[in-house]
């Protein structure tokens, strides 16, 4: 919901969120024709910012959309939005859409892309949920076939998450061809005999920036990460499970469907990886 005291960025202007407006003809609204990024903010600083900008650039390229301002400027504006809203712990959201055009399926000849941003203070470092862990429900992956592109077409993910919540769970793990692809808005992992497993990168999943940072941190700490798919049954029998995302960082998963993961509390490797990630983020 817009908050009047918060400042959003809309196509070159910093405005009160309740004054922030986009046309009904914007292709992001009519076609889901846009790309977004969510970057964590810790101690007032953007975390994994280079990785988020690199992924933004790639996603835009994949849908043949030029950003309205250079990527470096987008990065600087994000920092400004965080500062103007005095966000110390939380996140900043940015979206580039193909802009306003007559409603027609082909891309407009001379697009004027829209760029919007907003930020939120959301304490997420020391939370009850991260101490306790979450329970996920498996669900068929109903999304399109280019999940490596971070588009705003999020209806299938929203439906999966809502169905999980309606059934009394915290989130959904999506399953395709007998294997977990990823969470509704996060990457999925299990730990077996000290080895961390997560699905390899392909068009089946989003290449998470948190995933990338976590794999590097694990390597530095001699924690083995194997990039290969796993089934829901493997996950239910695993010692530990967790998810990663800009909004959760590293979040323990303690239940999958009706199974308890490990002893039902966050596992030691999961806790270690969460600590390592937060320490690295704080160190800048
Ligand atoms: N979601 N997979 C999917 C489908 C995602 O939507 C996300 C992020 C991730 C994790 O990526 P990262 O570590 O770069 O946040 C994986 C964001 C947080 C969102 O939609 O709010």
Interacting residues of 166 by C-beta distance below 8 A, sequence separation 6+: none
Answer whether 97's CB lies under 8 Å from 36's CB.
Answer: no
Residues 93 and 161 in one domain: no
pLDDT above 90 covers a percentage of the chain that reads: 100
Q: How far is the CA of 110 from the centre of ligand 1 (A)?
A: 30
Write the residue with the smallest CA distance to atom 20 of ligand 1. 185
| Closest to 34 measured CA to CA, from 208, 184, 150, 157 | 150
As for how many domains the chain has, the answer is 2
Domain encompassing residue 11: 7-121
Residues 159 and 212 in one domain: yes
Cβ of 210 below 6 Å from ligand 1: yes
Whether this model's pTM surpasses 0.95: yes
- Contact (Cβ atoms closer than 8 angstroms) between residue 3 and residue 119: no
Residues 232 and 271 in one domain: yes
* Cβ atoms 169, 137 nearer than 8 A: yes
Establish whether 21 is a catalytic residue.
no
142-179 pLDDT per residue, tens: 999 999 999 999 999 999 999 999 999 999 999 999 99
Same domain membership, residue 279 and residue 163: yes
What is the predicted pLDDT for the residue at 259? Answer: 98
Question: Is residue 91 located within the same domain as residue 148?
Answer: no
Q: Is residue 1 part of a domain?
A: no
The verdict on 133 and 273 lying in the same domain is: yes
**Residue 138 is part of a domain; what is its CATH number?**
3.20.10.10
Distance from the CA of 78 to the center of ligand 1, in angstroms? 18
pLDDT in tens, 65-75: 999 999 999 99
Does the beta carbon of 138 lie inside 6 Å of ligand 1? no
Same-domain status, 155 and 223? yes
- Ligand 1 pocket, residue 182 CB under 6 Å: yes
The phi-psi region of residue 222 (left if phi > 0; otherwise alpha if psi is between -120 and 50; otherwise beta) is left
Contact 210, 218 (CB under 8 A): no
Give the other-Cβ count within 10 Å of 70's Cβ: 11
Q: What is the predicted pLDDT for the residue at 284?
A: 83
Shared-domain flag, residues 156 and 174: yes
């Amino acid at each position: 919901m817009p908050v009047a005291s918060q400042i959003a960025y809309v196509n070159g202007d910093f405005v009160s969120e309740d004054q922030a407006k986009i046309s009904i003809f914007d292709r992001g609204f009519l076609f889901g024709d846009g790309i977004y990024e969510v970057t964590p903010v810790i101690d007032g600083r953007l975390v994994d910012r280079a990785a988020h900008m690199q992924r933004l650039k790639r996603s835009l390229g994949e849908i043949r959309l030029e950003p309205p301002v250079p990527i470096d400027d987008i990065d600087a504006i994000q920092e400004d939005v965080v500062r103007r809203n005095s966000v110390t712990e939380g996140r900043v959201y940015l979206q580039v859409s193909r802009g306003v055009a007559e409603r027609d399926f082909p891309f407009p000849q001379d697009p004027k892309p829209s760029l919007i941003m907003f930020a939120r203070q959301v304490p997420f470092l020391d939370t009850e949920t991260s101490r306790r862990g979450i329970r996920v429900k498996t669900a068929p992956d109903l999304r399109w076939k280019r999940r490596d592109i971070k588009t705003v077409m999020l209806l299938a993910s929203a439906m999966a998450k809502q169905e999980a919540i309606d059934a009394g769970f915290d989130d959904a793990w999506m399953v395709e061809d007998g294997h977990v692809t990823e969470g509704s808005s996060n990457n999925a992992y299990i730990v077996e005999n000290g080895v961390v497993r997560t699905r390899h990168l392909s068009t089946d999943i989003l290449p998470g920036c948190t995933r990338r940072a976590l794999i590097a941190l694990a390597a530095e700490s001699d924690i083995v990460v194997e990039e290969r798919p796993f089934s829901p049954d493997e996950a239910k029998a695993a010692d530990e499970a967790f998810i990663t995302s800009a909004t959760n960082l590293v979040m323990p998963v303690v239940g999958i469907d009706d199974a308890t993961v490990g002893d039902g509390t966050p596992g030691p490797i999961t806790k270690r990886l969460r600590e390592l990630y937060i320490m690295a983020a704080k160190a800048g």
